[in-house]
Structure 1
Amino acid sequence: MKAAVWHKKGDIRIENVPEPVPGPGQVLVKIKACGICGSDLHEYNHGPFIIPARPHPLTGRQGGPVILGHEFSAEVVRSGPDAVRFQPGDRVTMNALITCGVCHYCRTGAYNMCLKLGSTGFAADGGFAEYAVLREYALYPLPDSVTDDMGSFVEPLAVAVRAVKRSRMQIGDTAVVIGAGPIGLLVMQVCRVAGAGRVIVVEPMKARRDLASRLGAGYVFNPLEQDPGKAIAGITGGLRADVAFDCVGSQPAFDTAVKSTGRRACICIVGLSLNPIQVPFMQLWGHEKEITFSSGYENEFPAAIDLLADDRVDVNPLISARIQLDDLVEKGIKPLMESADRYVKIVVYP
């Protein structure tokens, strides 16, 4: 079968590899659509990053070669021994977490804190391929109302659902989302569904601001042209936002989250920073602000599927391009890195 194989930083090759065979508790699926994630870009630019640098305790995988891709919809081909939940032809999506199931965190349902945590597409072969073998426990059925394209957004939407849960946003709160990339635009929509009184987006790129407005943002601000903190103060009677979501993971984004929020606000860090972030300790302390982090997901997949199934979250406008697997690097990864003002999400069809 054809697959996009990561070998090392800057080296992803389209290769013919053996079709995988499902073992006990596993399911063979045919990939229908797979989205390119920011973490895939990290691996191309800086990897191994999430790809394990030493043998993973659950999969044994270390570095390359490994097939990337963890945001996908698929169709069941056949099940291996002891896998009984799905039949051939069933449409599914996947929770990418690979967990031990026995540590303290797994036993309490905090799967993203597993002491041996791994991820499909990094510590095991993923969805940039014609077929994949997946753990049955990781699969969720897709209803007919969720298309293959929409199914490839379930995983990032689960990230957004968890972020809003972690922020403890209340009905009527003013929420500000910093960064209108794929996750930011999904967080913005989940905030609206969850009952935010106002949802504000801060984003320097015009095309992404326009998309945020189209998807329901009450206000959009360009941080290069105005101070978001003062602008948000102006529409909230000086109180500023109750909740902020940093969906970028950078010093300027964090600084914006601090300036945009009021006293006793919560700042939820969703974006991944590869560098240390400085914090204004006295301001945070004096205003009793809280900082929390949201990493991945636990059991948010059913909620994400429901939000897509009845159109409460619209993901189709986020798709900037649809490409074939052969074009993953030249028409997928490179445009997302070099032309972020033109592309939000690119979906690959193996």
Structure 2
Amino acid sequence: MRAARYYDRKDIRIEDVPEPELTPGTVAIDVAWNGICGTDLHEYLEGPIFIPPAGSPHPISGEEAPVTLGHEFSGTVTALGEGVDDLQIGESVVVEPYIIRDDVEVGPGHSYQLSDDMNFIGLAGRGGGLAEKIVVQRRWVHPVGDIPLDEAALIEPLSVAHHAFVRSGAKAGDVAVVGGAGPIGLLTAAVLKAYGLTVYISELSAARKKAALETGVADEVFDPREVDVADKVRELTGAGADVGFECSSVPVVLDMLIDAVRPGAVIVNVSIWSYKPEVDMPALVLKEIDLRGTIGYANDHPAVIKLVQEGRVRLAPFITARIPLDELVSGGFDQLINNNEEHVKILVNPNE
């Protein structure tokens, strides 16, 4: 079967690899769609980050570069390993793409995303969504019912956004300011609106500002070249926003959020940083701001799938292109790097 293999920075190759083997307790899936994630772009431009470099195998998967990419994917169940009796052949599913130790508890209340040596399918091995087929442990497979498979490929990043919302402690009626209207910023805003928050977004890109307003995930969008975003938020709220979400990995955006939230507010960092930014610690201290990290998700997928099934989050408007596997770099990575203002989520069909 064909797969996109990561060798090193700016070195991704479409290759033929053996089909994965079905084993007890696993599920075989034909991949339908895989979304290109911001993490994939970081790996392509600056990595390896999550990907274990050649010569340094991951302690759980035992794999190292080259690895098959892709962790935002949907597909159809084609075979069930021994002991798996609660799924059906032909069922539409998504995968919660974790690599964690077998003895780590994953039920409600368990923070398995923080377990030792945690990593992700499609980054640290065990196949990936940028391949025709994949076999995964049953515990990571989530049925999606009648959600279209292209939209279902966005369940994974939507779960990242949902986990950030959970981490924030925000509630209906609160005011949120989101820094950055890239894919994760827009999906974070979508989750916040679904739970009844007022949402303001700071964004430079005309296309992304338009997407935020047309999809209804933002009450207002502010361009920091045209207005002081923090002043505008205070003008609208009085003391400032109740919660902020950093979704850009840009230092000036983090500064804006610290300025824009009220004293005692929470800021959640959602983005992946490839370097250590400066943080305005005096303002953080004087305003008693709670700056929180977030990584991945933990038991968020069921709630997110329900949000989509109930129509509280619409995913179709965020899909801006669909490409075959052979165009992964030219039509996917290059577009998101050089023409990112025109795209939110590019989906790849590994079977084309």
TM exceeding 0.5: yes
1:173 corresponds to: 174
1:107 Cα deviation from its structure 2 partner:
10
Aligned ranges 1:79-118 → 2 under 5 Å:
79-102=80-103, 109-118=110-119
Q: Is 1:282 equivalent to 2:274 in the alignment? A: no
Tell me how far apart the structure 2 counterparts of residues 107 and 304 of structure 1 sit (CA, whole Å).
15
Tell me how far apart the structure 2 counterparts of residues 115 and 213 of structure 1 sit (CA, whole Å).
40
2:221 corresponds to: 220
Q: Is the 8 A contact 2:42 2:274 kept in 1?
A: no
1:82 Cα deviation from its structure 2 partner:
2.8
SS at match of 2:341: coil
Q: 1:138 aligns with which of 137, 140, 144?
A: 140
1:2 corresponds to: 2
Tell me how far apart the structure 2 counterparts of residues 159 and 104 of structure 1 sit (CA, whole Å).
20
Tell me how far apart the structure 1 counterparts of residues 96 and 105 of structure 2 sit (CA, whole Å).
20
- Would the alpha carbon gap of residues 105 and 23 (structure 1) be closer, same or farther in structure 2, given more than 3 Å must change? closer
Q: Is the 8 A contact 1:67 1:122 kept in 2?
A: yes
Runs of 4+ aligned structure 1 residues displaced above 3 Å come to 103-108
SS at match of 2:235: helix
- 1:9-36 deviation line (CA, Å, top 9, x unaligned): 1111111222111122211110011100
| Structure 1: gaps spanning 5 or more residues | none
- 1:74-105 deviation line (CA, Å, top 9, x unaligned): 10111223333323211110001111143589
Tell me how far apart the structure 2 counterparts of residues 137 and 16 of structure 1 sit (CA, whole Å).
28
Q: What is the root-mean-square deviation in Å for CA atoms of aligned residues?
A: 1.6
Tell me how far apart the structure 2 counterparts of residues 295 and 318 of structure 1 sit (CA, whole Å).
22
1:247 Cα deviation from its structure 2 partner:
0.7
| Structure 2: gaps spanning 5 or more residues | none
Aligned ranges 1:35-46 → 2 under 5 Å:
35-46=35-46
Identity %: 38
Tell me how far apart the structure 2 counterparts of residues 349 and 105 of structure 1 sit (CA, whole Å).
30
2:60 corresponds to: 58
- 1:100-147 deviation line (CA, Å, top 9, x unaligned): 143589896111001131210011210101111111110001111x10
Q: Is the 8 A contact 1:106 1:113 kept in 2?
A: no
1:15 corresponds to: 15
- 1:191-246 deviation line (CA, Å, top 9, x unaligned): 111121x2101001011011111122111100122210111111123x11110000
- 1:177-203 deviation line (CA, Å, top 9, x unaligned): 11101111111111111121x210100
Tell me how far apart the structure 2 counterparts of residues 133 and 88 of structure 1 sit (CA, whole Å).
14
Amino acid at match of 1:201: I
1:24 corresponds to: 24
Q: Is the 8 A contact 1:228 1:259 kept in 2?
A: no
Q: May I ask how many residue pairs the two structures share in their alignment?
A: 346
Amino acid at match of 2:50: I
SS at match of 1:341: helix
Amino acid at match of 2:292: T
Amino acid at match of 1:149: D
Tell me how far apart the structure 2 counterparts of residues 20 and 108 of structure 1 sit (CA, whole Å).
32
Q: Is 1:126 equivalent to 2:128 in the alignment? A: yes
1:339 corresponds to: 339
1:153 corresponds to: 154
1:47 Cα deviation from its structure 2 partner:
2.0
Q: Is the 8 A contact 1:100 1:106 kept in 2?
A: no
Tell me how far apart the structure 1 counterparts of residues 279 and 66 of structure 2 sit (CA, whole Å).
39
Q: Is the 8 A contact 2:35 2:346 kept in 1?
A: yes
Q: Is the 8 A contact 1:213 1:220 kept in 2?
A: yes
Q: Is the 8 A contact 1:150 1:308 kept in 2?
A: no
1:34 corresponds to: 34
1:77 corresponds to: 78
Amino acid at match of 1:248: S
- 1:232-270 deviation line (CA, Å, top 9, x unaligned): 111123x11110000112211111111211111111110
- If the length of structure 1 is used for normalisation, what is the TM-score? 0.95
